[in-house]
Amino acid sequence: MAKICDICGKGPRTGNRIIRKGLPKKKGGIGLHTTGVTRRRFLPNLQKIRISLEGSVRSSLVCASCLKKGKVVKA
């Protein structure tokens, strides 16, 4: 099952996980040094709910932001 919202089409985004070593200059060190960068995925907050769409009731994946905005009507 794809991790995509059925209402707005929001899906996974990619980013970096950055590992740093050292003491920050603000705390008296010589600064932070990046020791590793790996790719990661930011997944949307999807909820499986029953919605009423065009008079029929069906189950679908909807992101939490669509639920909060009121874009869907729960069955």
6 domain-assigned: no
Mean pLDDT of 4-33: 96
Domain extent for 25:
13-69
What's the pLDDT score for residue 27?
97
75 domain-assigned: no
Length of the chain: 75
Mean pLDDT of 4-25: 96
Alpha-carbon distance of 30 to 1, in angstroms, equals 47
**What is the tens place of the pLDDT at every residue in 24-69?**
999 999 999 999 999 999 999 999 999 998 889 999 999 999 999 9
In this predicted structure, the answer to whether residue 1 has a pLDDT above a threshold of 80 is no
Alpha-carbon distance of 8 to 59, in angstroms, equals 16
**Total tally of structural domains belonging to the chain:** 1
What's the pLDDT score for residue 69?
94
What's the pLDDT score for residue 75?
87
